[in-house]
Amino acid sequence: MIIVMQARATEADVEYVSRRIEELGLTPHVSRGTERILIGVIGDERLVNRDQLTLLPHVEEVIPILKPYKLASREFQPADSIVSVAGVPIGGNEVVVIAGPCSVEDEEQIVTAAIAVKAAGARLLRGGAYKPRTSPYVFQGLGEEGLKLLARAREKTGLGIVTEVMESSEVDVVAEYADLLQVGARNMQNTKLLRSLSKIDKPVLLKRGPAATLNEFLMSAEYLLSGGNHRVILCERGIRTFVEYTRNTLDLNVVPAVKQLSHLPIIVDPSHGTGRHDLVVPMSRAAIAAGADGLLVEVHPAPEKALSDGEQSLKPAAFADLMREVRCIAPAVGRSVASPAATASGRESARTV
């Protein structure tokens, strides 16, 4: 970082700030301009609480040079990370579509959904067993029973399963069944949950918080990476909005922005991003065109009977139409889409974790 001293700072002030920098384990480098004295700080500035320097006498400004995240950054790892989920590579050349109902409701519902999404070309099955609902009076998910039903659907279709974990005490049970553990938007900054997930040997799908900045999003990923779990996939699912016609505003800007700043894969959830089934297909097209590594789409065999998020769920036939479009759009932006029977493949220059 660079410390800009106020115009009236004396040599004694510069000396004082320099000594403080040394006490913090860093090295000061003073440059005297015609109007201002600047002190360059050499060392890992991420380890320093910036306020401890900002509040020193006659300091005008402290300008960070490094991003607050390190392991998540492209500077740290220039090659794309490819995260393998039940043998499906996410973050490579292939665009991967994950689909299934918002919640697991019963065996018939989840198995029917799994068969339908697989036939259309989905590579992984989604379904919530632990549900973070806004109202305490509505369906809260089947819990472990839901996980068992997901495992049943996996047995029948061979699709790996993606499901949410809401608290640290449930990480072990969810990890026993899931191939990819989802951190919901509401929990993006639940640092204890992130720490627990950083210790498991399963990949994590980290959804962006409803009002999280890109820095905050990547700092949450940093919790997972710094704790030792390098299998992290990001998911944009819409941010808090003032518009009244959608549930959230799907922030597709974040897709290319993440690609510049980070090596982590990023997928897009157009279901929560819009809250409307009629907008899911157009926003899916846009997400792939913007460079997303995949989609997370809610599909329900009978959305009118769904216990959660029916209004944003596609029927199986509409999902099959979407997959046909995905197979046209992905090649136009240099990406592939596996046919339902295809096996895993990877990009050579990338790092599979």
Give the nearest distance from C-beta 109 to ligand PEP in angstroms.
15
CA distance 217 to 197: 16
Burial class (CB in 10 A: 0-12, 13-18, 19+), 49: exposed
- In the stretch 144-183, what mask flags binding to ligand PEP with x, by CB under 6 A? ----------------------------------------
Give the nearest distance from C-beta 270 to Mn ion in angstroms.
12
Binding segment toward Mn ion, per CB under 5 A, in 6-14, 50-58, 209-217, 305-313: 305-313
* C-beta neighbour count of 135 within 10 angstroms: 7
Residue 207 touches which member of Mn ion, ligand PEP, none, C-beta under 5-8 Å by kind: ligand PEP
Count of residues engaged in binding Mn ion, rule: CB under 5 A: 2
164 binds Mn ion (CB under 5 A): no
SS3 state of residue 293? coil
Decide whether 48 or 102 has the Cβ nearer to ligand PEP: 102
- Residue 4, φ and ψ in degrees, nearest 5: -100, 120
Closest to 102 in 3D by CA, of 256, 253, 217, 271: 271
118, 207, 277, 335: which one contacts ligand PEP (CB under 6 A)?
A: 207
Closest to 10 in 3D by CA, of 26, 30, 25: 30
Residues 296-325 that bind ligand PEP (CB under 6 A): none
- In the stretch 264-293, what mask flags binding to ligand PEP with x, by CB under 6 A? --------x---------------------
Give the nearest distance from C-beta 39 to ligand PEP in angstroms.
44
184, 270, 301, 303: which one contacts ligand PEP (CB under 6 A)?
A: 184
Closest to 283 in 3D by CA, of 298, 270, 296, 297: 270
102 binds Mn ion (CB under 5 A): yes
* Buried b / exposed e along 254-278 (16+ C-beta atoms within 10 A): bbebbbebbbbbbbbbbbbbbbebe
307 binds Mn ion (CB under 5 A): no
88, 147, 185, 299: which one contacts ligand PEP (CB under 6 A)?
A: 185
69, 309, 318, 323: which one contacts Mn ion (CB under 5 A)?
A: 309
Sign of CA dihedral 112, 159, 188, 209: negative
SS3 state of residue 1? coil
Pairing status of strand 124-126 against strand 59-63? unpaired
Q: Give me the residue label for tokens 């989920």.
A: 85
Residues 63-102 that bind ligand PEP (CB under 6 A): 102
141 binds ligand PEP (CB under 6 A): no
Residues forming the site for ligand PEP (CB under 6 A): 102, 128, 132, 184-186, 207, 237, 272
